[in-house]
Amino acid sequence: MRFDILTVVPGLLESPFSHSIVQRAIKKGLAEIHIHNIRDYTTDKHRSVDDYPYGGGAGMVMMAEPVIKCIEQLKSERNYDLVVYMSPDGELFDQPIANRLSLFQHVIILCGHYKGIDERIRAHFIDQEISVGNYVLSGGELAAAIVCDAVIRLLPGVIGDETSALSDSFQDDLVAPPVYTRPADFRGMKVPDILLSGNTPEIDKWRHAEAVKRTKERRPGLLGDH
């Protein structure tokens, strides 16, 4: 799977993709992430990519021309399944969206900055707008990193245990149940006996019940027919 990320501050994306699971996926050839500096597509001698908004108001707006030129250049090189814009007012990112994106081969992600992007980009070149939460970041770069991380870990072969991603929180509209590791007794704090029993069907029942309980306590809005 290939992500092409369009940004005005490419340095912000160096660290998130240089470690852990994403880095391993890249080294294995299971994922590609290409960062494109939008400033490379401007004709302005100062490499500016923003201008004052028509009608007045505070802040600056990312101009249509350099962004559109970058998107068009990429599309001339390969077919893209989706062009995503990271936006505070986009669709709230969740596990089902991550699952769907993991089925694609080529995705462009545009990172907003300043007061946003020229509306003509959104109207004619964006397929989906995604938000990572009801808050505002300085730009879309960190949000794009979140999306890439959530999607790449779902790709076959990225995680050693193929069933691990399927048991993550939110895959079944439940948060994950409690987990424990050795020792079984630490300072009198003991692992539940059921987890030491070796009875897999009963352990599965316990985990499901605990997941429902924890979801009810912490994220009740997720509960449907559980």
Contact assessment for residue 86 and residue 147, using Cβ atoms and an 8 Å cutoff: yes
> pLDDT per residue over 185-198, tens digit each?
999 999 999 999 99
Tell me the average pLDDT of the chain. Answer: 93
52 Cα distance to chain centroid = 30
The whole-number average pLDDT for the span 204-221 is 95
The whole-number average pLDDT for the span 155-163 is 80
pLDDT reported for residue 49 = 96
Q: Say how many Å lie between the first and final Cα of the chain, rounded.
A: 34
* Rounded Cα–Cα distance for residues 224 and 212 (Å): 10
Q: Which of 59-68, 107-116, 164-173 is predicted with the least confidence, judged by mean pLDDT?
A: 164-173
**Which band of pLDDT confidence, cut at 50, 70 and 90, is reported for residue 68?**
very high
Task: Give start-end residues of each CATH 1.10.1270.20 domain in the chain.
Answer: 169-222
Three-state secondary-structure class, residue 146: helix
* Rounded Cα–Cα distance for residues 137 and 58 (Å): 17
Three-state secondary-structure class, residue 140: coil
The domain made up of 169-222 is a member of CATH 3.40.50.300:
no
Beta bridge partners of 113: 139
Whether the pLDDT of residue 76 is over 80: the answer is yes
Whether the pLDDT of residue 167 is over 80: the answer is no
**Which band of pLDDT confidence, cut at 50, 70 and 90, is reported for residue 173?**
confident
Q: Which residue in 203, 176, 205 sits closest to 191, CA to CA? A: 203
Task: Give start-end residues of each CATH 3.40.1280.10 domain in the chain.
Answer: 2-152
Q: Which CATH class is domain 2-152?
A: alpha beta
* Rounded Cα–Cα distance for residues 224 and 135 (Å): 26
**Which band of pLDDT confidence, cut at 50, 70 and 90, is reported for residue 166?**
low
| Residue 187: how many other CB atoms lie within 10 Å | 6
Calculate what percentage of the chain has a pLDDT beyond 70. Answer: 94
- 224 versus 16: the higher-pLDDT residue is 16
Q: Alpha carbon of 115 to those of 15, 124, 127, 142, 194: distances in Å?
A: 25, 19, 20, 16, 54
The whole-number average pLDDT for the span 26-51 is 96
> pLDDT per residue over 129-143, tens digit each?
999 999 999 999 999
Which two tokens mark 120? 């003509």
Beta bridge partners of 32: 2
The whole-number average pLDDT for the span 195-218 is 96
For residue 106, which phi and psi values (nearest 5 degrees)? Answer: -135, 120
Whether the pLDDT of residue 114 is over 60: the answer is yes
State the amino acid at position 27 in one-letter form: K
Whether the pLDDT of residue 168 is over 80: the answer is no
Q: How many CA atoms lie within 13 A of 79 on its CB side?
A: 3
- Helix (H) or strand (E) run with residue 151 in it: helix 141-152
Whether the pLDDT of residue 10 is over 90: the answer is yes
Q: Alpha carbon of 93 to those of 17, 65, 147, 171: distances in Å?
A: 19, 28, 8, 13
Whether the pLDDT of residue 169 is over 60: the answer is no
pLDDT reported for residue 158 = 95
